[in-house]
């Protein structure tokens, strides 16, 4: 009888928790690691192989969110040395949740189930805290650091020793919603012109005009009240998301961005001055620049426009969609694309859509050309050079640098603008693989076309991702 009474009380303690952790010291430093950058409050942080952060709850803290953006060779990993968040049924009350950015709801931890080398399978780790109870001391103390990108190859995880009592946890990834269309497909949508005067200050130097409808992923962004007020260009990547450059919508005077209600996105407008009956537009509901965008160095120079209404992407075999999306590199792609043939898109001096052929350079070659002029080329940038007189201009912001993979267009860069000078160094783009996970996280609620490396029974096509 006595043993039953003891077990009953132990069960109650496990289910409802206890404040019996008085031995915990609020100023105790559990991680003896010189690489720790310090304890961080809620916010967004860049993490690489030389940095790590300490997280802990504070008195009165009810909720908090930390977003860690790793580099292409770093997957964030979190482990907790002290963890006193009280248990509840499926951790519905107090919890620490982990997500890789592919879903709103993350993997929840509470009670004896604590993060132990919990590793994101992407370069993003989102840590969310929700506390409804009163804790007399910090409820947890955890360290976020960097794991190598090959961490999951051994089936256990980076730093895992088979002798350890508990194997690490991988943060689950939620696949995006897709519909019956293929990204990056070619096609032709041709219609009679309806006529519209004026022009846009976006010019591609040395390009060749393309047939109407050849690049149905291409969009132009204008002012909402003035359709001739061209601001920048971009690409449609899902039914609600347009990818462009943050610098083209950045207002340096106020250190803010153009508001959503001041913008309009145009589709199927290869002749800017003469839209036809396939041309249409959409309002913008949200402007989301990369949280680590730096206007001085142009690092992380990307921005997502969320459309007010989704565009129709679904297309069955034998039919022609009005628009389609650009392919992005698959996640966990580390190809630098050096010395590969590529193309750029923009309006020429007659304000018609043109394409120019270029070759991707190495970052070392690009840095050698830009460094004497005071430019800085980071790993998150990619450069491409063409023949004499071929390149993009300052107002070609947001345009794609793309390569062709088995007759489909794959975007590998976002134009951040360059000097319209035949003797200038290679134009610089934001490297898509460096911000790929952030783009997908920002557009996780939208619908995507089938990606490279997928089979589409409606189009009866299979494309490898090589």
Over the chain, what is the mean pLDDT? 79
Rounded distance, CA 168 to CA 151, Å? 11
Can you tell me whether residue 9 is helix, strand or coil? helix
Domain 177-462 has CATH 2.40.10.120: yes
Rounded distance, CA 237 to CA 326, Å? 5
Q: Tokens 């120019």 correspond to what residue?
A: 356
Residue 137: predicted pLDDT: 79
17-147 CATH, one of 3.90.78.10, 3.90.220.20, 3.50.40.10, 2.60.120.290: 2.60.120.290
Q: Which of 198-202, 390-394, 406-410 has the lowest mean pLDDT?
A: 198-202
The more confidently predicted of residues 330 and 412 is 412
222 with 200: CB under 8 angstroms? yes
Residue 54: predicted pLDDT: 93
pLDDT band at 37 (very low <50, low <70, confident <90, very high): low
Residues in the chain: 466
Return the H-helix or E-strand segment holding 109: strand 107-109
Long-range contacts, stretch 222-227, CB < 8 angstroms, 24+ apart: 222/263, 222/264, 222/266, 223/262, 223/263, 223/264, 224/261, 224/262, 224/263, 224/264, 224/283, 225/262, 227/196, 227/264, 227/266, 227/281
- Out of 43-57, 299-313, 413-427, give the one with best mean pLDDT: 299-313
Residue 339: predicted pLDDT: 94
pLDDT band at 245 (very low <50, low <70, confident <90, very high): very high
Residue 182 reports pLDDT greater than 60: yes
Cite the DSSP H helix spans in 410-461.
432-442
Residue 212: predicted pLDDT: 62
128 with 85: CB under 8 angstroms? no
The more confidently predicted of residues 214 and 451 is 451
Residue 199: predicted pLDDT: 27
Phi-psi category of residue 262: left, alpha or beta, with phi > 0 → left and psi -120 to 50 → alpha? alpha
What average pLDDT score do residues 146-160 get? 49
Specify burial of residue 3 (Cβ count, 10 A radius: 0-12, 13-18, 19+): exposed
pLDDT band at 389 (very low <50, low <70, confident <90, very high): low
pLDDT band at 160 (very low <50, low <70, confident <90, very high): very low
Per-residue pLDDT tens digits for 335-376? 899 999 999 888 877 888 888 889 999 999 999 999 988 888
Residue 197 reports pLDDT greater than 80: no
Residue 8 reports pLDDT greater than 80: no
Q: Rounded to 5 degrees, what angle do the CA atoms 124, 305, 335 make?
A: 45
Q: Tokens 């029974």 correspond to what residue?
A: 457
Domain boundaries, the chain: 17-147, 177-462
Rounded distance, CA 98 to CA 125, Å? 7
Residue 259 reports pLDDT greater than 90: yes
Kindly state the tokens that stand for 295: 């206007």
Q: Which of 96-100, 140-144, 211-215, 324-328 has the lowest mean pLDDT?
A: 211-215
200 with 228: CB under 8 angstroms? yes
pLDDT band at 401 (very low <50, low <70, confident <90, very high): very high
């Amino acid at each position: 009888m006595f043993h039953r009474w003891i077990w009953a009380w132990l069960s109650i303690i496990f289910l409802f928790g206890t404040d019996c952790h008085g031995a915990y010291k609020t100023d105790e430093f559990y991680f003896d690691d010189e690489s720790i950058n310090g304890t961080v409050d809620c916010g967004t942080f860049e993490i690489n192989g030389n940095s790590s952060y300490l997280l802990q709850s504070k008195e009165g803290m009810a909720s908090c969110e930390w977003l860690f953006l790793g580099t292409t060779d770093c997957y964030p990993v979190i482990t907790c040395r002290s963890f006193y968040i009280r248990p509840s049924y499926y951790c519905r009350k107090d919890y620490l949740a982990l997500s890789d950015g592919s879903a709103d709801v993350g993997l929840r931890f509470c009670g004896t189930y604590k993060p132990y080398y919990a590793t994101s399978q992407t370069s993003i780790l989102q840590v969310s805290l929700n506390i409804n109870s009163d804790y007399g001391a910090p409820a947890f103390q955890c360290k976020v650091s960097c794991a190598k990108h090959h961490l999951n190859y051994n089936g256990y995880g980076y730093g895992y020793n088979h002798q350890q009592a508990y194997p690490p946890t991988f943060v689950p990834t939620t696949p995006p919603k897709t519909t019956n269309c293929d990204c990056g497909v070619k096609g032709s949508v041709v219609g009679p012109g309806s006529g519209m005067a004026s022009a846009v200050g976006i010019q591609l130097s040395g390009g060749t005009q393309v047939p109407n409808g050849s690049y149905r992923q291409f969009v132009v962004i204008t002012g909402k009240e003035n359709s001739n007020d061209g601001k920048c260009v971009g690409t449609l990547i899902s039914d609600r998301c347009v990818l462009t450059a943050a610098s083209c919508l950045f207002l340096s005077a106020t250190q803010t961005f153009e508001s959503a209600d001041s913008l309009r996105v145009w589709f199927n407008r290869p002749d800017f001055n003469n839209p036809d009956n396939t041309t249409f537009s959409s309002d913008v509901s949200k402007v989301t620049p990369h949280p680590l965008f730096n206007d001085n160095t142009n690092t992380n120079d990307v921005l997502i426009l969320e459309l007010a209404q989704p565009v129709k992407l679904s297309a069955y075999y034998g039919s022609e969609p009005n628009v389609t999306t650009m392919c992005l590199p698959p996640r966990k792609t580390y190809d630098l694309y050096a010395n590969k043939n590529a193309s750029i898109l923009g309006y020429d001096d007659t304000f018609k859509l043109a394409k120019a052929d270029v070759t991707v350079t190495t970052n070392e070659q690009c840095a050698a050309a830009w460094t004497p002029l005071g430019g800085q080329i980071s790993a998150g940038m990619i450069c491409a050079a063409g023949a004499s007189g071929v390149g993009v201009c300052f107002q070609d912001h947001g345009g794609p640098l793309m390569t062709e993979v088995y007759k489909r267009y794959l975007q590998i860069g976002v134009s951040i603008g360059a000097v319209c000078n035949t003797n200038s160094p290679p134009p610089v783009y934001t490297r898509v693989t460096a911000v790929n996970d952030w783009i997908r996280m920002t557009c996780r609620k939208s619908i995507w076309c089938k990606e490279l490396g997928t089979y589409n029974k409606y189009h009866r096509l299979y494309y490898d991702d090589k």
